[in-house]
Amino acid sequence: MPIPDDKADGGLAPARPSKPREANAPATGPDVIAGYLKTLTTGPGVYRMLDAAGDVIYVGKARNLKARVQNYTRLAGLPNRTLRMVQATAAMEFVSVRTEAEALLLEANLIKRFRPRFNVTLRDDKSFPYILIRRDQGAPQILKHRGARTVKGEYFGPFASAGAVNRTINLLERAFLLRSCSDSVFESRTRPCLLYQIKRCSAPCTGEISLEDYGRLVDEAIRFLKGESQSVREMYQRLMEEAAERLEFERAAMLRNRLWALAHVQAEQAINPEGVEEADVFAAYQEAGQTCIQVFFFRVGQNWGNRAYYPKADRSLPVEEVLDSFVAQFYDDKPVPRLILLSHDIANRALLEEALCIKADRRVEIRVPQRGVKSGLVEHALANAREALGRKLAESSSQRALLAALGERFGLKHPPQRVDVFDNSHIMGTNAVGGMIVAGPEGFAKSAYRKFNIRSETLTPGDDYAMMREVLTRRFRRLAENEAGAPTETPAEALWEHVAAEGSQPIDEEDASPLGGALPERPDLVLVDGGAGQLTVAREVLAELGLGHIAVVGVAKGPDRDAGREHFHVPGRASFMLEPRDPVLYFVQRLRDEAHRFAIGTHRAKRAKALGANPLDEIPGVGPTRKRALLKHFGSAKAVSRAGVDDLVAVDGISAEMARKIYDFFHERRV
């Protein structure tokens, strides 16, 4: 059943209340909400609350829109969180739907889109990886897959992490000798690769195995991944014994090794519960106002990993409400299993079950088991949630203490909530890249990392100062544009300004939490890898962009580049060193090393791509087959570039028109 789009014609009912508003002070509060009651229906729907700036601050669903909105006009008895939300509401928008189940699905979709600050929001929403066996070619390929299922083949998952997928693929390669190389590599091979030599591929690329026999291996791998592991193992056991009886000891040893590999695959799956073929297990644990939700995935009777989530939620919400909203958002863009097990009963369990049945177009069951194997799975997940939250709180506490000490050492008025660290990497100016890493109260914020390909044509190769200028300018120009018109402070007035997020209000102490919310867009402290010269460049860039109030520190390597003897350059102070065993010194080293790791990793990837690039790949119409024919005929891409049209036509598969395209491509490059 389709879910209505909130942007469809007639879907919204954003009729504004007729009450006049002051130009500079938009009306907010229960009177604004009451203005919508005259036009609201009594049917189900979804509503959005907007603040004076037009940002969505809350998304909710209702069986009866009019009755639900009317509740917000009666302030008596409302919790503090709801009172703050009502007082901040300057406008509302509505979407009417046919059923409450549809309203639940639409609500989850809108929460994920707008991330309102008064809702429970799913903070880590990266898609899960799958194992894909492609069936759109003669020799199917096994690979890791994320995203939409547009490729023809068999999908197995979800797995909790890319590491779990990679380990399983490696073991399946040993067991079934399936190829994992790309199509271009597969089609260009003239002899078996190293994977064939170490017995992890059967080399269908060069005909070491017939496509018919390879297809049988693929079918056996699919049967194994579908849960028929016992029958596959019994088949290999029988074939091994038959080979041994016929004195075919090499074949028997090969089958024995395959059996060992299959045993390792099953051992990797940890807990394999009986009677649970396909299920997701959700266990929520609360402590210190924070919630951790552990999700375990079971498919074909095997445990395919788990992941911990820390949803952003108000500290006053009970664990049942957090879990309720989390599960609805979790399945907004993910396939739904037949069974969902929960650690706590939720108010919308029956409604959520109905909504997921609509989404999956089949029966979905949501249970809160009290005994038996399923109860043991939930208890195991709950224990993992408890341990994960304990570790997170401990790490967060330690990180906050280090940030406070860092601010004290560098003379900041307050502990920084966001630290940006910059480093550049290149070899004699070639393949130059800049890297930015971000750290906050929760540690490294890898989703905020940025890489910058140095692209200035006027830059002298190897000019580190110019590279740093380009990177910093590109990083902070957009921030300056977003903050244009907002008053800025000079370094003498303040080194940083505590802002919860770009364009938002300062953090309310009541809403502050050890795990924090979204990182601010503006850093409170910038660390640059270098001494006084790099510091000067950074200060000039920030001053030119009107961001001179942001604190900047240069971290220069000590004599002989010894770790622990770094010199710190702070504006208005002579360079100084920290005590050799100061925890802040180790913390800064960690930040600098992470920035260096990220920058040099990006540089190596760019260099490897440049080394492996072949100009033939850039010619339209030249695919793997023609590329292989050209290289076989001429020996190298350089020889192809020197060939004339008549020479190119002599190559099998190269027509006169294609020969002219190839010649023109290289001719234009020389001009």
Per-residue buried b or exposed e for 175-193, using 16+ beta carbons within 10 Å of the residue's own CB:
bbbbbbbeeeebebbeebb
Position 20 pLDDT exceeds 50: no
Q: What is the mean pLDDT of residues 303-323?
A: 88
pLDDT for position 124: 63
Label residue 541 exposed, middle or buried (CB < 10 Å: 0-12, 13-18, 19+): buried
Asked if residues 437 and 591 have their Cβ atoms less than 8 Å apart, the reply is yes
547 and 486 housed in the same domain: yes
Please indicate, yes or no, if residue 419 is contained in any of the structural domains: yes
Single residue among 51, 86, 114 that ends a domain in this structure: 114
pLDDT of residue 363: 92
Q: Number of H helices and number of E strands within the chain? A: 20, 18
Number of domains comprising the chain: 5
Check residues 342 and 228 and name the one with the higher pLDDT: 342
Res 540: pLDDT: 92
Q: Has residue 271 got a pLDDT over 80?
A: no
Query: Average of pLDDT values for 292-316?
Result: 86
* Mean pLDDT of the region 379-390: 91
What range defines the domain where residue 136 resides?
130-268
Same domain (yes/no): 93, 136: no
Least confident segment among 11-25, 175-189, 205-219, 447-461: 11-25
Task: Check residue 222 and give its pLDDT.
Answer: 86
Q: pLDDT averaged over the chain?
A: 81
In this structure, is residue 404 part of a structural domain?
no
- Rank 10-19, 207-216, 482-491 by mean pLDDT and report only the highest: 207-216
How many CA atoms within 13 Å lie on the side-chain side of 571?
A: 21
Q: Which residue has the higher pLDDT, 562 or 282?
A: 282
The predicted pLDDT at position 493 comes to 33
Closest CA to 269 of 301, 293, 308, 242: 301
Query: How much of the chain exceeds pLDDT 90, in percent?
Result: 26
Banded pLDDT at 394 (limits 50, 70, 90): confident
Segment 58-114, tens digit of pLDDT: 999 999 999 999 999 988 888 888 999 999 999 999 999 999 999 999 999 899 888
CATH number at residue 664: 1.10.150.20
Compare 227 and 633 and report the one with higher pLDDT: 633
Instruction: Assess whether 295 and 323 both reside in one domain.
Output: yes
- Cβ count near 645 (within 10 Å): 14
Do residues 212 and 333 both lie within one domain? no
Q: Per-residue confidence at 8, pLDDT binned at 50, 70, 90? A: very low
User: How confident is the model over 603-615, as pLDDT tens digits?
Assistant: 777 766 665 566 7
Q: What CATH number is given to the structural domain containing 353?
A: 3.30.420.10
What angle do helix axes 372-409 and 583-612 make, rounded to 10 degrees? 110
Average pLDDT over residues 264-272: 52
Closest by Cα among 437, 438, 443 to 402: 443
Contact assessment for residue 57 and residue 91, using Cβ atoms and an 8 Å cutoff? no
Exposure on the CB side of residue 305, measured as CA atoms within 13 A: 17
- In this structure, are 315 and 338 located in the same domain? yes
Is residue 475 located within the same domain as residue 591? yes
Same domain membership, residue 226 and residue 292: no
Whether pLDDT at 552 is above 80: yes
pLDDT at 318 over 50: yes
Query: How high is the pLDDT of residue 313?
Result: 87
pLDDT tens, residue by residue, 135-155: 878 889 999 988 777 888 888
- Would you state the pLDDT for residue 342? 96
Of 145, 442, 142, nearest to 292 by C-alpha is: 442
Q: Which run of H or of E encompasses 443?
A: strand 443-444
Of 237-241, 304-308, 352-356, 445-449, which one has max mean pLDDT? 352-356
**Same domain as 435, residue 351:** no
- Report if residue 14 sits inside a domain: no
Average pLDDT over residues 550-563: 77
